[in-house]
Amino acid sequence: MELERLTYRLLKAFTPPEVRLTRDLKWRSPPPNPPKPPPKVVRDLTESEQEYLKYFTEFCADKDDPMDYGIDINLPPSSKEEEKAPSSDESSNDDDETEGDETKNEEFEENQGR
């Protein structure tokens, strides 16, 4: 019993101390004021959202909140609606690009023949 106590105390005396990586912070002054979050940008309802609210719900634009009907006006519109709008513009741009690509291919072939 006495030998166990002595070995325990010797081991305890020769083991290195615990390494602390950080020190405990002492707040000596009040913490700084956190920055205020930017105000939320409220967007208008898209046509499809307005149609949904008009035909399938009892939504009143003056009294009701679209959030109650599952439409978040703080988020940008869904990607489906974004894809529909620029599709007509993209088709005209694609035609221009293909014409330019054809002329580039012709120039390339002419340079290869030389």
pLDDT tens per residue across span 52-99: 888 888 888 888 888 888 888 777 776 655 444 444 444 444 445 555
| Region of poorest pLDDT, from 34-38, 78-82, 106-110 | 78-82
Q: Which residue has 């009701």 as its token pair?
A: 64
Is residue 71 within 8 Å of 53, Cβ to Cβ? yes
Q: Determine the pLDDT at residue 22.
A: 84
* Mean pLDDT computed over 32-46: 83
**Distance in angstroms (rounded) separating the CA atoms of residues 88 and 95:** 11
Backbone angles phi, psi at 96, to 5 degrees: -65, -40
Is residue 66 within 8 Å of 73, Cβ to Cβ? yes
**Distance in angstroms (rounded) separating the CA atoms of residues 18 and 25:** 19
- Dihedral sign (CA 92, 94, 96, 102): negative
Give the H/E segment covering residue 105: helix 87-113
